Chain A
Amino acid sequence: MVRAVGNTLIRQRQRGGPGNVYRYLGRRLLHSIPVVVAVTVGAFVIIVLVPGDPALNMLGYNATPESLAILRRDLGLDRSVPEQFIGFVRGAVVGDFGESILKKEPVRDVIATRAVISFSLLFYSAVTAVVVAVPLAILSAVRRNRWQDHLMRLGSMITFAMPSFWLGLLLALFFAIRLGWLPVAGYDKTNVLTILRSLTLPAATIGLFLAPILARTLRSSIIEVLDQEYVEAARARGYRESRVIGRHVMRNSLIATVTVLSLIIGFMISGSVIVENVFAIPGLGSLIVDAVLQRDYPVIQALVLFFGLTVIVINLAADLTYAAIDPRVRLVTG
């Protein structure tokens, strides 16, 4: 959805001068506005659409009328819907989403600490996926239609067919319980090493789920580049195969990696919700589950908006990255 908006803005043109990245960025930001508005309305509407009285839902049926009245005022439920919306947007602009009912802390602070953990996990997962997928894709493409290739394609089909947390559970069983190398679950923030150890199994779970998708896309992209005459020309100049692949093939295949990673970012975020809960990682994924279960509406609203904006920003960054790494992608608004 958001992705599609980004894609229609990218057109391939064969010739032309160097693109004006700043003008493109401006135009691209302009086109993001309707999406941002839609996400904002969506986040706001959650509280309006809740059946019955949100305050009663949150505090439960044995809440006193006084505390209900206070909560309604805090949430602005005593005002008209347009007024509430303006209040929500005003708050959102400065990052003020009120207080978490559950934690009695500003929502912004709750999200900020957990976002750091979630983004570390996402980054670690993406790195794992790339580290696993890139060598496999190269091997598979270079040995196309030989046994290495068939093995990789079969393996990627099998792992892809497994539910995302299944592999994580297997990994946890083996590395945490059997070998005792890594914590089974939980997040130990003592130092960087303990943090890395805590995030390794969850990141491997997400990363290994993504790796086959990445490897397959990258494989076909590498094969396409391998068939280009400039690759043969590089060999003909007497270059080592490692240079031919590293300098001439991989750089031209990079765009596929970026495309796939940005395409599956939504996938990764939703996957991380499950994985964070399985491994008890205190990130945004476990926060949103807690918030929904506990009906912490301010947190839910803020998270919906936050996730939406994250996807928009990452897509924008991906589009700009294409333009930077592939001179053939010209920046044109369609």
Chain B
Amino acid sequence: MTGAGRPGDSTKDVLLRVEGLTKGYPVRRTLGERIRRVPARRLMAVQNVSFEVRQREVMGIVGESGSGKTTLGRSLVRLVDPDEGTVLFDGVNVRAVDGSDLRRLRRRVQMVFQDPFTSLNPRMTVGAAILEAGKVHGLVETGRHDEFVSRHMERVGLTATLADRRPRQLSGGQRQRVAIARALAVGPDMIIADEPVSALDVSIQAQIINLFRDLQDRLGLTMIFIAHQLSVVSQVADTVAVMYMGRIVEHGTLEKVFGRPEHPYTQALLASRPDPNPRHKGDPPLRGDVPSPLDLPPGCKFATRCPFVEDECRQVEPALEGTEPRHLVACHVKPRPWEGGIS
């Protein structure tokens, strides 16, 4: 597999390496099920996910709602405790650390959440939130509090005069800027942004995406950028992973995954993108039932909807394998033609 090369090859500039990450949530049984001694089940939100992110690289993750993006993102900093697998961040085994080591790790890997209204403490002013982040990790000199706050506010395009405001007095875009400023105030090496623009007005989305690009570039950040919209990911990502039912089904550089997608699911996603040309009216490319995440079929999870399905697909789950340098696909049938063209 080394020859084909994962996106983010096994070189020494890899910052984050994830191997076989698996997370299931316990499912509550009904009283009847408990009496009939139906075994406790787990909803497998993330199953056997592996990838690498290089220094200063932006990895985009796309997938429908419920495909496990949030669970994956939170597992990386142990906001969710994974069941199996390895997470290595800069050589630190994330699953093995605890206490102050875990807090040190969390300082280096900051999260930006989807909804900036719920992710900001309603009782804290902008300044207090940013200052707390810096103070906890000893990054603010005494007597330079105001300077610290205004520097971090200005960096995300907020005027320092907003420092006394509380979240409810800010617009959605301003709130997300505060959340970003607060994350950057602890001096992270990596940002995990979980759908950071999904809760914002379309007109604001572009501004925040630009801010992420700009900050990533200026600060040399490594980033995981989660989104369910392909158009958002294509604006920031260097590599793209496509998730389906808790698995990565395709992962490669932006050019390869969006330009020459090989997995039927990726192809369908790209084909169903809102077409700017109203005369191109194709059939909805995906038919068939989405399987229940509690009762997944044994083979390829996409088999129920896949136009190329073969017998083997229903028996054996395809592994994520390299088809060319920095391009991995989990599909038995290759090659599949892509006629959609580059966006």
Footprint of B on A, CB under 8 Å? 14-15, 17, 228-230, 232-240, 243, 247-248, 251-252, 325-328
Contact = CB atoms under 8 A, between A and B. Distances in A.
Nearest to A14: B168
Contacts of A236: 77, 79, 106, 110-111
B109 to A, nearest CB: 8
A197 B77 CA distance: 52
Contacts of B136: 237-240, 243
A240 B182 CA distance: 16
Contact of B121 (A234, A235, A238): A234
Given A229-B119, A237-B186, 6 more contacts: A228-B118, A236-B106, A237-B182, A238-B102, A243-B136, A327-B123
Contacts of A248: 121
A229 B113 contact: yes
Contacts of B77: 236
Nearest to B118: A229
Contacts of B111: 233, 236
Interface string B11-29: 0000000000000000000
B121 A230 contact: yes
Contact of A238 (B106, B118, B179): B106
Contacts of A233: 111, 113, 119-120, 179
A328 B168 contact: yes
A76 B115 CA distance: 69
Nearest to A243: B136
- Interface centre among B79, B102, B121, by most A CB within 10 Å? B121
A327 B166 contact: yes
Contacts of B110: 236-237
B79 A232 contact: yes
B307 interface: no
Given A243-B136, A327-B166, A238 B122 contact: no
Interface string B100-132: 001111110011010100111111000000001
Contacts of B336: none
B319 to A, nearest CB: 32
Contacts of A234: 121
- Interface centre among B119, B182, B186, by most A CB within 10 Å? B119
B128 to A, nearest CB: 10
A240 to B, nearest CB: 7
Nearest to A229: B118
B183 interface: yes
Contacts of A14: 168
B248 interface: no
B281 to A, nearest CB: 40
Contacts, number: 63
Given A229-B115, A232-B79, A237 B107 contact: yes
B133 interface: yes
B42 interface: no
A251 B123 contact: yes
B120 A230 contact: yes
Contacts of A17: 169
A21 B113 CA distance: 34
Contacts of A247: 132
6 contacts: A233-B120, A238-B102, A247-B132, A251-B123, A326-B123, A327-B168
B273 interface: no
B298 to A, nearest CB: 34
A189 to B, nearest CB: 42
Contact of A230 (B79, B119, B186): B119
B137 interface: yes
A15 B168 contact: yes
A17 B121 CA distance: 18
A325 B166 CA distance: 13
Contacts of B183: 237
Contacts of B115: 229
Interface string B157-198: 000000000101100000000010011001000000000000
A261 to B, nearest CB: 20
Contacts of B103: 238-240
A248 B133 CA distance: 13
Given A238-B137, A239-B136, A328 B118 contact: no
Contacts of A252: 121-123
7 nearest CB pairs, A to B: A238-B106, A238-B107, A229-B118, A238-B103, A230-B121, A236-B111, A233-B119
A251 B129 CA distance: 14
A235 B122 contact: no
Nearest to B120: A230
Interface in B307-326: none
Contacts of A325: 123
Contacts of A326: 123
Contacts of A243: 136
Nearest to B111: A236
Contacts of A238: 102-107, 136-137, 186
Contacts of B122: 230, 252, 327-328
Nearest to B99: A240
Contacts of A228: 118
A252 B200 CA distance: 26
- Interface centre among A17, A230, A232, A325, by most B CB within 10 Å? A230
Interface in B67-109: 77, 79, 102-107
A15 B186 CA distance: 30
- Interface centre among A14, A237, A326, by most B CB within 10 Å? A237
